[in-house]
Copies of this chain bind each other. A is one copy, B any other.
Amino acid sequence: MNKLRIGIVGLGNMGMEHAKYLIENQVKNAQLTAVSDISLERLKQVAEQWGSDVQRFESYEALFKSGTVDAVMLCTPHYDHPRLAIEAFTCGLHVLVEKPAGVYTRQVKEMNEAAAASGKIYGIMYNQRTNPLYLKLRELISSGELGEIRRTNWIITNWYRSQAYYNSSRWRATWAGEGGGVLINQAPHQLDLWQWTTGLMPKRIRAFCAFGKDRDIEVENEVTAYVEYENGATGVFVTSTHETPGTNRFEITGDRGKIVIEDDKMTFWRLRQLEPEFNRDNTSAFAQPECWKFDIPVAASVTQHLEITRNWTEAILQGTPLLAPGEDGIKGLTLSNAMLLSTWTDNWVELPIDEDLFYDKLQEKIRLSTKAIR
């Protein structure tokens, strides 16, 4: 294959954004050849805009079976991602799925299994993985610069959404429509980066979600989670959508010091000696290891979504490694599901989570919802 023929399913905000850079030929050796949407009006609009080079389909099934595409980008509402991906793999197509991977891990596990069985290239739109700040952080941690991790702390409260946002679509912020709030819609990037940069998934989680705080919605819009890792480290994750101006500050402490990412800058307080070595040898009651403060140089962030699509295209055409393999989507979703489950059961949640229990609880929320859209 010299040129990848890409189809986009779902022409909402994200689908249109991806279409735009494909139409502009910003992804080398890739071409947008087909789109599908349930809105005939939307299809008519894009026909006027793009002409006949881009085939249009009223259903994703028709697109999948049309023979006009080698690969698809799935930009539908969250719940549909796994089902559509599984069908796409069955049709022999490569898949790039929007985040979140899905709403509950049971369906995402099935998607991952279908991907593995198909042998196709399977990516997820974790565009923040292209952010040089997090790439650098991951590199510093995996190379051992920070030593063994002791504590993580992410305050990510700059996802402000007013009531007008929630009123803008009926499916938003409902259990039936989205299956969650800030954890499923706004914070999935940070949930992914939290585990991807550190290489650590918690072993257990105790979380506290507030539902419809200062907003007329039924899902969670403020979350505080405490986690414990296998190596004894602990962590905190705080997110919300009702505060402004919010904070985006990620602090990681290790045996070799501390790294903080805030305001698009990375600072590394680096100990000259590993703390456990200092602690072993030191005899003075109030002494501390010598510490140097560094501003870590990081390239400016640029073309995030485009970079993921380019990387996925290259993975298909040339076999380069994926920056965001689709299989990774279940990790952030597991954290998200665990945080809701911990709140609902008012108790610890051990990982891997009881995915049937989560599914049942979610169905109950949908059943009891007064805002449900089915």
Residues of A within 8 A of B (CB): 150-151, 153, 155, 157, 160-165, 168, 206, 208, 210, 213-215, 222, 224, 226, 228, 232, 234, 236, 238, 240, 242-247, 251, 253, 257-258, 260, 269, 271, 275-276, 278-280, 282-289, 291
Contact = CB atoms under 8 A, between A and B. Distances in A.
Q: What copy number does this chain have within its complex?
A: 2
A234 B210 contact: yes
Given A151-B240, A162-B284, A243-B275, 7 more contacts: A150-B214, A153-B238, A162-B287, A164-B283, A236-B236, A243-B253, A245-B291
A164 B283 CA distance: 5
Contacts of A244: 257, 271, 275, 288-289, 291
A346 to B, nearest CB: 8
Given A224-B226, A236-B236, A279-B163, A288 B253 contact: no
A221 to B, nearest CB: 12
A148 to B, nearest CB: 10
Given A206-B206, A291-B244, A155 B232 contact: no
A232 B286 CA distance: 40
Contacts of A258: 243, 245-247
B150 A153 contact: no
A161 B278 CA distance: 11
Most chain B Cβ neighbours within 10 Å, of A162, A226, A228, A232: A162
Contacts of A161: 286
Contacts of A226: 208, 224, 226
